[in-house]
Structure 1
Amino acid sequence: MGGQGEDRRVRAIFFDEDDARAVEARLLRDGYTADLVRERLSGEDDDEDHPWAVVSDAPEFVLDLLTDEFDGWLDPEEPDVAPPPVLPPLELPRAPRRVKRPDLLGDERGTRLDP
């Protein structure tokens, strides 16, 4: 933690709505921002099966303690990945390569032709 990690928001996941609302209220009471959202899991059709997420600017250890108390877990976000480096364009041939000694080329099967 420290530096850039303090600016990011941390997500805590709970299956019970009452637990999620209690964590949200506790964080707001302690002076942190907290948003309660419904997590949409891919492949889940039933809205009742979707867990609840509390997204907050509270330090990760605070949310970790609350997830232990209210039977939830932290959803670590992947750090921003830097874009791949921009490489210079490849130098490609402008025309087919000319063979100076065709007698050294092989046939399609990769075998060498006899002169």
Structure 2
Amino acid sequence: MVRNAAQTAFEALSDPIRRRILHLLAENDETTAGALADAIQEVGRTAISSHLRVLRSAALVVERREGRYRYYALHPDGPVLDALGFLQSILAQGASPASTGAPAVSPIVTSSDDEVADAAEAS
């Protein structure tokens, strides 16, 4: 199977930690893996490095080495624009779940305990 840049980008973006890394990089021009690990304390430094590797291989992030430090930044010409263009083309066509092959989803209706009790008393 041949992968295109948009598919690779979407797969890389499927992880919430990687999305958070991208958000942090968008807020800062560039930063180190250590600074990202300090900001995202739910995972360790090794996990941050692994996530950065995935983001680099998807061309979402670039790495710059300076001495013993590695600085990471959003890729200025990465596939994010291709992925966004793909999504915009779908939205522009007014795609519905049926036309995309996605399963139809019915809205979730919830009732509070008070509404259920009121309905029981009324009957």
Instruction: State the TM-score, normalizing by the size of structure 1.
Output: 0.23
Instruction: State the TM-score, normalizing by the size of structure 2.
Output: 0.22
Greater share of helix residues, 1 or 2?
2
Greater share of strand residues, 1 or 2?
1
